[in-house]
Structure 1
Amino acid sequence: MSDTPSHFLSTQHYRRFVEFGEYCRDKKHIGLCYGRPGVGKTESARQFASWNLIEPLLQQPSRTRRLPEHIASCDVLFLTPEVTVTPKKLETSISLTRNKFDGLVEQARVWHHPESVFEKRQSKNVKLLIVDEADRLKFQSLELLRDLHDRGSIGIILMGMPGIERRIKRFGQLYSRIHLTYEFQPLTADETNLFIAEKWLQLGLPRSADDAVSTAIKRVGNGNFRVLNRIFTEIERLQKLNCLPLITPDLVETATRGLLLGAA
């Protein structure tokens, strides 16, 4: 188990992000999404773009890869720039990934819908570019994205930490083109309960978590996806190591004591 949940939990904030993303894609606007670390921004964006499915396929030879029909209708590109990215590297990365993506979508379309070969298609399949970790981008790289939006007629979503919305205000040309912002929030209490219940099932435990255990997990997790996953990873490790049939508040306390948990 990793910090990335094996089963995606569709929360109210993910559903709002989908609405946000569809608006930016359909209207070809620039949007800004920000939120604290671990609340689910990246996983939500990858889920919206089907990137967990697409990314491995981009690395496979076209002759041997098997493409689900869903790929034929994909139109969202997800990109995480390198820490030391330059405008040139960013431009190259976008171009290469976009070309691979276009080839992937066209291959899926021809395979699953052979009649589309005779239809006149648009030359590019990307309608929305999501740039994660946009805090890493300096002025010239941000200007490159603005120019891509202006010339390429595509929507763009910039994703980053709280404060990026204030930083971008300094770049007037880009800021004036941002039509919508969305702040990603932690899980609600009900969503945290659902998350715990699903983890309980994954661990194969005989009954649902009692109130004391749930309270202990929620108190430390504080609605943060990443922290909650790390807690359960450590709980599972200790449970197997000590052959424990149940999870108790003491086990939760022991699991969280060994983790380096920042402010959720």
Structure 2
Amino acid sequence: MINEEIQQEIERLRQPDILNLEQVKRFAVWLDERRKLRKPGRAVGESGLGKTTASLFYTYQNRVAKTPNQNPTVPVLYVELTGSSCSPSLFFKTIIETLKFKAKGGNENQLRERSWYLIKQCKVELLIIDEAHRLQFKTLPDVRDLFDKVKIVPVLVGTSSRLDTLISKDEQVAGRFASYFSFEKLLGANFRKTVKIWEQQILRLPETSNLADNQEIITLLQEKTDGQIRLLDQILRDAAVKALESGVNKIDKSVLENIEGDYSLVAS
């Protein structure tokens, strides 16, 4: 490969990809069931297991429909909460701005009414609330009321321990979001299968690395990622870039060892 081609490949490897993996497919089926049954729920799992990626993939599959001179139809609205503590006002502002309208000023009640109005106008059926463990306790009734007052299905997505701890403080919220989907770590044959998929569909190097068939490499990757798909993605992409920069067309153990040492999970 010439230098320009190598740089193009490196740039490609630095762009995010969303693969329709088995867990992503199962999550989509579960979300479809929530919409059909008109029942809220929560999706939980440790950090790095693909909750956000799966949520974005489902949202993309149910993309916005635009009609001239009318509000867009948004069957699935995905919002990501930021900051350490999401108040009711911030929650409603996030909804309004994600729908690409200006939040403007106003007190909490005005923002609530405006967000409810826009949700109805945009015909939102399902609201995915990512990083839901960031919600303040006093925001929970507003999340619960979305189903009662606006007739949409809210789904909370967040880190297992923090989200479950939060909603357990309100028995009405806990009961409403009792249905859950659990994101699991990559283990055993599933880990090996995912490495193979990543090599074929994400890395796509000039030569086959056969990473999934090398037990030493699989063991090394398992130890460094602890089954987290996000870390696996980062390590394999970095290794692919390192290989190309070094004039190598595939990943071998020496390239991976040179990369994986830069990653270390903090002990809990």
Residues 4-15 of structure 1 correspond to what in structure 2 (within 5 A)? 5-11=16-22, 13-15=23-25
Residues 159-238 of structure 1 correspond to what in structure 2 (within 5 A)? 159-163=157-161, 164-201=163-200, 202-207=203-208, 208-209=210-211, 210-211=213-214, 212-238=216-242
1:30 pairs, out of 16, 37, 40, with 40
Measure, in 2, the Cα distance between the counterparts of 1:42 and 1:263: 23
C-alpha root-mean-square deviation of aligned residues, in Å? 3.0
Q: Note closer, same or farther for the CA distance 1:96–1:220 as it changes in structure 2 (3 Å cut).
A: closer
**2:183 alignment partner AA:** F
Q: Note closer, same or farther for the CA distance 1:189–1:9 as it changes in structure 2 (3 Å cut).
A: farther
- The structural deviation recorded for 1:51 is 7.3
Q: Using structure 2 for the length normalisation, give the TM-score.
A: 0.73
What is aligned with 2:156? 158
Measure, in 1, the Cα distance between the counterparts of 2:206 and 2:182: 35
Q: Using structure 1 for the length normalisation, give the TM-score.
A: 0.74
- The structural deviation recorded for 1:235 is 0.5
**2:19 alignment partner AA:** F
What is aligned with 2:86? 85
- The structural deviation recorded for 1:30 is 1.7
- The structural deviation recorded for 1:75 is 1.2
Q: Note closer, same or farther for the CA distance 1:213–1:125 as it changes in structure 2 (3 Å cut).
A: same
- The structural deviation recorded for 1:206 is 2.2
- The structural deviation recorded for 1:128 is 0.6
**1:86 alignment partner AA:** S
Answer whether contact 1:192 1:223 (CA < 8 A) is retained. Answer: yes
- The structural deviation recorded for 1:145 is 1.0
- The structural deviation recorded for 1:15 is 2.6
Calculate percent identity across the aligned residue pairs. Answer: 21
- The structural deviation recorded for 1:25 is 1.6
Measure, in 2, the Cα distance between the counterparts of 1:259 and 1:222: 11
Answer whether contact 2:132 2:156 (CA < 8 A) is retained. Answer: yes
Q: Deviations over 1:18-64 (max 9, x none)?
A: 2221122222222011101111111111111117966xx99xxx98x
- The structural deviation recorded for 1:263 is 5.9
Residues 51-66 of structure 1 correspond to what in structure 2 (within 5 A)? none
Measure, in 2, the Cα distance between the counterparts of 1:21 and 1:241: 42
Higher RCO (Cα < 8 Å, 6 or more apart) = 1
Answer whether contact 2:129 2:155 (CA < 8 A) is retained. Answer: yes
- The structural deviation recorded for 1:158 is 0.4
Q: Does 2:258 correspond to 1:254?
A: yes
| Structure 2: gaps of 5 or more residues | 1-12, 102-119
What is aligned with 1:48? 58
| Structure 1: gaps of 5 or more residues | 64-70, 101-121
Answer whether contact 1:189 1:223 (CA < 8 A) is retained. Answer: no
What is aligned with 2:246? 242
Measure, in 1, the Cα distance between the counterparts of 2:253 and 2:63: 37
Residues 87-106 of structure 1 correspond to what in structure 2 (within 5 A)? 87-98=88-99
Q: Note closer, same or farther for the CA distance 1:194–1:175 as it changes in structure 2 (3 Å cut).
A: same
- The structural deviation recorded for 1:240 is 2.4
Q: Secondary structure at the residue paired with 2:160?
A: coil
Measure, in 1, the Cα distance between the counterparts of 2:38 and 2:97: 21
Residues 77-156 of structure 1 correspond to what in structure 2 (within 5 A)? 77-83=77-83, 84-98=85-99, 123-156=121-154
Answer whether contact 2:40 2:179 (CA < 8 A) is retained. Answer: yes
Measure, in 1, the Cα distance between the counterparts of 2:100 and 2:235: 40
